[in-house]
Amino acid sequence: MQTTTNHWDTYQDQAVTEYTIENDNGVKLSILSWGATLHKLTVPTGNGDHNLVLSYHKMADYLDNPFYVCMGIGRTGGRITRGQVTLDGTTTQLDTNEGHNTLHGGPHGFNTVNWAGALDTSDPQQAKIILTHTFKHTDDSFPGDLTTKMIYALDNQDRVTLTFEANSTALTLFNPTLHVYFNLSDDQLISGQTLQVNSQEHLALDDEKLPTGKMIANAGTPYDFADGQNLGQAIRGLQDIPEKGFDDVYHVVPGTDGTIAKLSDPQTNRAVTIKSQRDGLVVFTANSFTSDMKLTTGAGQPYMGIALEAQNLPDSPNHPEFGDVSLPAGETKRYDITYELTY
């Protein structure tokens, strides 16, 4: 295992640090301190390293659009209706950042701060990038001061494990995720890739993309990825809806080994298997990417990446049937997402 640390950029007068781990197989993981952003996940090829995730050249470009490209998301992934949560009988009005609603932790969420970072190389079979920050309730409007870590580990089995860990000074919410966008292929678009999701249903959403509380069966529709489906074919099946692609929350059932989804590219034989013990996966096919996005692979365009965000079902404070993502004061909660690579 090899590790490096370098000054990558300056944003809002703060140094943005890039932490990189390279395993014994030549797989490299690069994380930016700002937003705990997954900047690069590269695998070796005959033509050099190939980045499996979307990325930018500058920090400002990551934040100059509403797409959270490969950034850390918290305290809560997804939307909270009207920014209102009631915990133990007390209702809190959160700051809103998408109309009347709170999206992805609100305007002062995980993606908006420069995390403190450190490398851990104590294990010869894996190395870790440990990012830490305390989100004060006076800054992000959630109850309690949340001290949290995002720990990225890369091992010699070509697995990236992301651990979210947090404790709070008061009863609060904790449903974090990583807004990672994959494109495994050598093409600009994802249309040739295959997605499999361990799911039989997805959430019904209203016009504001808020859950209604109901589920819709996937079987017999373009939303059915249970046995694997070509993404181009699936997207073509949704050209009669406003999004013209996927921006949906799947209710997933983890397999016995924790697998919830697998994305693969038949042309290159590259694949990523996603493992999580949580019951939600957001699938977004970048339908609304725009040409002013200056990504490293070129100008933004629809379908140039697929976001696969493992989390608990969103807006659960307003839909108790979705489960409980509360974090009691003084307790520590952890969630893991594992990305297993083949290439």
How does pLDDT run across 6-40, given as a tens digit for each residue?
999 999 999 999 999 999 999 999 999 999 999 99
Cα 284 → chain centroid: 11
Q: Which domain holds residue 115?
A: 2-342
Number of domains forming the structure of the chain = 1
**The CATH number of the domain where 215 resides is what?**
2.70.98.10
Please count the CA atoms within 13 angstroms of the CA of 263 that sit on its side-chain side: 25
User: In terms of Cα–Cα distance, which of 309, 82, 312, 322 is closest to 208?
Assistant: 82
**CA atoms of 64 and 71, how far apart (whole Å):** 13
pLDDT of residue 167: 98
Average pLDDT of the residues of the chain: 97
Question: How high is the pLDDT of residue 104?
Answer: 98
Q: What percent of the chain has pLDDT over 70?
A: 100
Model pLDDT for residues 165-198, shown as the tens digit of each residue: 999 999 999 999 999 999 999 999 999 999 999 9
Cβ–Cβ < 8 Å for 245, 236: no
Q: What is the pLDDT of residues 281-291, one digit of tens each?
A: 999 999 999 99
Tokens of 332: 């520590």
Which tokens go with 169? 């000074």
CB distance 233 to 226 below 8 Å: no
**Rounded distance, CA 102 to CA 189, Å?**
30
Active site residues: 179, 309
